[in-house]
Amino acid sequence: MSSVKEQLIENLIEDDSKSQRKITIVGAGAVGMSCAICILLKDLADELALVDVAEDKLKGEMMDLQHGSLFFHTPKIISGKDYSVSANSKLIIITAGARQQKGETRLSLVQRNVNIMKSIIPALVHHSPDCKMMIVSNPVPLWSGVNVAGVTLKTLDPKLGTDSDREQWKNIHRQVVESAYEVIKMKGYTSWAVGLSVTDLVGSILKNLRKVHPVSTLVKGLYGIKEEIFLSIPCILGQNGVSDIVKVHLNNEEKALFMKSADTLWNVQKDLVF
């Protein structure tokens, strides 16, 4: 006797097609789930996979998203502890890692997170050898480029961003650097802004927009940097990932700060145990 489904629907073709725009998010914590909801609401993926070690939490988060399916256009949401759920991903977003403690600098999280990555990355690459990977982590503002409608602020006031700047625009940069710490102090973590930011990048990559974003990329060979360091510079993002970089002209002070960033990172990197 036929089921209700068989009486209702005549099947013509088996639906065995692979997803074309699959995104995997590793880490179902606040940042990962913020990325998930933004990606769903912006229609960026046709399949979303979530991976985490905490199985109950993971399943709960998956079900909570699935229950909202009526309200978005991503027909397949899956999850699992096993990395096989990530197979065939175009983009993998890594949010997994230890959470930044109050007062802890970003750099001091590093060794903890290196060990986590060792257990994650090889399996992900095995299941999606053609993917792009986006690492979400916990930041030298370029004052000479700050402009509104092409009018460079620094041309209006050459002291902009320096200590002798009457209006202390430098405070804005300080606020940016401190803002993450401030939000963490007040709500315990940050999630919304980082999720929105990641989704912005995901959109550029999956839609091959070739927009320019300041993202962390391999800068060896640029600005006199000799080591394998990743730092943020303006990059053109598209379906190949970082396909081009913009050659920014740094003045002497900016170059010095950039090099200082590179040195700080290298001092941590050179001692990492893989």
> In terms of CB distance, is 157 or 227 closer to a copy of itself?
157
Site for a copy of itself in 141-170 (CB under 8 A): 148, 151, 153, 156-157, 160, 166-167, 169
Cα gap 256→111, rounded to integer Å: 27
Cα gap 231→248, rounded to integer Å: 13
Q: Does 82 bind a copy of itself (CB under 8 A)?
A: no
> In terms of CB distance, is 69 or 264 closer to a copy of itself?
69
Q: Which of 19, 25, 28, 34 binds a copy of itself (CB under 8 A)?
A: 34
Burial-class residue 155 by CB neighbours within 10 Å (0-12, 13-18, 19+).
Answer: exposed
> In terms of CB distance, is 6 or 82 closer to a copy of itself?
6
Token readout for 174 is 């300080």
> In terms of CB distance, is 75 or 122 closer to a copy of itself?
75
Select from 4-12, 94-102, 127-135, 220-228 the region that touches a copy of itself (CB under 8 A). 4-12
Q: Which of 119, 171, 179, 251 binds a copy of itself (CB under 8 A)?
A: 179
DSSP character for 109?
G
Q: Which of 53, 135, 140, 183 binds a copy of itself (CB under 8 A)?
A: 183
Q: Which of 7, 17, 164, 252 binds a copy of itself (CB under 8 A)?
A: 7
Cα gap 68→61, rounded to integer Å: 11
Q: Does 181 bind a copy of itself (CB under 8 A)?
A: no
> In terms of CB distance, is 138 or 199 closer to a copy of itself?
199
CA 57 to chain centre: 22
Q: What is the DSSP string of 9-49?
A: ----S---PPPSSEEEEE--SHHHHHHHHHHHHTT--SEEE
Beta bridge partners of 9: none
Annotated binding site: 27-32, 52, 113, 136-138
